[in-house]
Chains A and B, each alone.
Chain A
Amino acid sequence: MNENFENELRRRLRPVEPPDGFAERLMQALPVDAKPALMVAFAKRPTARWRQFGMPAALAASLLVAVMVGQRVGIEREMRAEQQGREASMKLMQALRVTSQKLDLAYEAVNPPPAAGDEENRS
């Protein structure tokens, strides 16, 4: 008996169709620019991937570039220092040479070489 009433409910509560043209009106109401979710998902995927992998990759690339630039700057600085060292060394050698020549001249001026007659008298 209870079942009879439930069956009666089922019979009277059968789904009814919406007014004619419902689906057509709905299709016209679909947003023109919007695509189904999957299409949107595909369209958005590059952005999502960029967020997922792009940022870390960009950071890693930036870090690599920074390290390479740093290394390059270090090497250039080292080469410049070496070059400067070489130049300083050459100047020092030049200065030492000049000084040596001057000292030789001064020595010769203070201690002139003995004349030819003096040599003969000694012997």
Chain B
Amino acid sequence: MSLHVAQSMPDSVLLQARAGDVRAFASLVRAHQGSVFSIGLRMLNRRDAAEDLAQDVFLQLYRKLDSIESLEHLGFWLRRVAANLAIDWLRRLPNSVTQPLDENVEAAAQEPEGDLLMSRELMRLLGELTPHARAVMLLRYQEDRDVAEIATMLDMPVNTVKSHIKRSLTALRGRMIGAQLIDCEELP
């Protein structure tokens, strides 16, 4: 929903927010809150921490609105700040990554039991990746960003991003096959 709202939003909303219109700023928040919150949730594995992180990101945005040039830039800025802030939090609190992702269980609650198990396992395995690899995977598959953009967001070489994606995909597939959640036929 948020992504659609963000894509259909006119540039004037950003200009209004920059001019001090609080309601316009709230519209920007609603358009991007899902994306920012999900990065926090899947990076930190904790709902409360994800909400804190999202709030921190939007407060930073409020202070730096004048540096945002367009809605496209806004999306880039929010993802970059959210991912890097989450990596930073994980460095400071490395033990916070062991919790299961209840949010994704909720999201998958209406799915068949097999899918629910797969979702849980996928989130658990994602939580086992290094913070940088996890951020790469989320920006690639949750946010659908291309490799070059991810490299810029995380300030790492393009080849490192590609390497993270390749290794993470292999690890995730292997673990899911091991847990019999997907068939061997899905191997490349």
Q: List A residues at the B interface (Cβ < 8 Å).
A: 1-2, 4-6, 8-10, 12-19, 22-23, 25-27, 29-30, 34-41
Instruction: Contacts A17-B1, A17-B33, A26-B29 given; indicate if A35 touches B188 (C-beta within 8 A).
Output: no
Q: B34 near A37 (CB under 8 angstroms)? A: no
Interface size grouping (class) on chain B: 35 or more
Proximity bits, B36-55, A CB within 8 Å = 1, else 0? 01100110000100110011
25 A-B pairs whose Cβ atoms sit less than 8 Å apart in the complex: A1-B186, A5-B173, A9-B122, A9-B141, A12-B108, A12-B118, A14-B142, A15-B38, A16-B38, A16-B104, A17-B1, A18-B51, A23-B29, A26-B54, A26-B55, A26-B59, A27-B26, A29-B55, A30-B62, A34-B62, A36-B19, A36-B63, A36-B65, A38-B18, A41-B66
Q: A23 near B33 (CB under 8 angstroms)? A: yes
* Contacting residues, chain B, for A30 (C-beta < 8 A): 22, 59, 62
Instruction: List residues 56-98 of chain B with CB under 8 A from any CB of chain A.
Output: 58-59, 62-67
* Closest Cβ neighbor of A19 among chain B residues: B51
Instruction: Contacts A18-B33, A29-B59 given; indicate if A38 touches B26 (C-beta within 8 A).
Output: no
Instruction: Contacts A1-B187, A37-B66 given; indicate if A13 touches B18 (C-beta within 8 A).
Output: no
CA distance A36 to B35 in the complex (A): 22
A26 to chain B, nearest CB (A): 5
